[in-house]
Structure 1
Amino acid sequence: MTPDALRCFFEDWLDASNRHDLAAMRELLAPEVRRAGAPAGADAWLADVAELLAAFPDYRWKRIQLVVEEDRVAAHLRTRGTHRGVYRGIRPTGRHVGVAAFGFYRVRNGRIVEYAGSDDEVALTAQLTG
């Protein structure tokens, strides 16, 4: 993919994520996608997203900066949402949370095949319990 095509691809990924459209997200993930430090596969990734969205039904990702090189996209994102459901055993607090997320995505044939990054779950959890 060209750099412009990768930028468009990532905008499609963010759009599907912000619509909470798990079916559209699945179309942009390779079935065997690998994630550093997390279970592999699109099913595992989408299960994690579904858990997050159940707890934060208004969760959104905002692109701060995007860098494209070869088959990779580096993204600095800002997330936000309101804690309305149980998350990682923490009962709903009604608190608004926001964290910085940094991710590196490798894309092949129009699908994410590899991801490494940080959504800073520690910071998110601290905002719910602190």
Structure 2
Amino acid sequence: MEPWELHGWHADYLDACNRHDLTAIAEFLDPAVRRAHLPAGAGAWIRDLADLFQAFPDWRWRRIQLVVEDDRIAAHLRGSGTHSGEFQGIAPTRRHVNVAEFAFYRVVNGRIVEVTGSGSAELLSQLKAR
């Protein structure tokens, strides 16, 4: 893919994520995708998203900024939703959370092959806050 095509590609990926369409999301992932500090593979990624969507049925991401260079995407996103199901051992708090997320993707042949990012620590701290 050309760098200019990755802007539209990311919009399509984000749309699939915001629809919670795990089948469509899987089409954007290389089966052996590497995730920094997380289990590798598309199956692990999909399971993590399924857990997030179960705990936050209204979860949505909003793109703040996207930078593309060669086969790399840097995305600044805002993720938000209401905690209405168990998440990583935390019982539902009914809190609405809003977190800044930064993700860096490498895309080859229209599929994410590597990703690193942030956001989960902030999410957990908002769930544990009093």
Matched to 2:41, the amino acid is G
Question: How many angstroms does 1:49 deviate by?
Answer: 0.5
Structure 1 stretches of at least 4 aligned residues deviating more than 4 Å after TM superposition: none
Partner of 1:5: 5
Partner of 1:128: 127
Aligned-residue Cα RMSD (Å) equals 0.7
| SS of equivalent to 1:115 | strand
Task: Map 1:16-35 onto structure 2 (within 5 A).
Answer: 16-35=16-35
Matched to 1:38, the amino acid is L
Deviation by residue 1:94-124 (Cα, 9 ceiling, x = unmatched)? 11001000010000001001101112x2221
Question: How many angstroms does 1:78 deviate by?
Answer: 0.4
| SS of equivalent to 1:20 | coil
Tell me the distance in 2 between the aligned counterparts of 1:104 and 1:91. Answer: 30
Q: Show structure 2 runs of 5+ residues with no match.
A: none
Question: How many angstroms does 1:22 deviate by?
Answer: 0.3
Tell me the distance in 1 between the aligned counterparts of 2:89 and 2:2. Answer: 43
- The TM-score with structure 1 as length reference comes to 0.97
Aligned residues: 129
Partner of 1:113: 113
Report % sequence identity.
Answer: 60
Task: Map 1:1-130 onto structure 2 (within 5 A).
Answer: 1-119=1-119, 121-130=120-129
Matched to 1:128, the amino acid is L
Tell me the distance in 2 between the aligned counterparts of 1:128 and 1:26. Answer: 28
Q: Show structure 1 runs of 5+ residues with no match.
A: none
Matched to 1:52, the amino acid is L
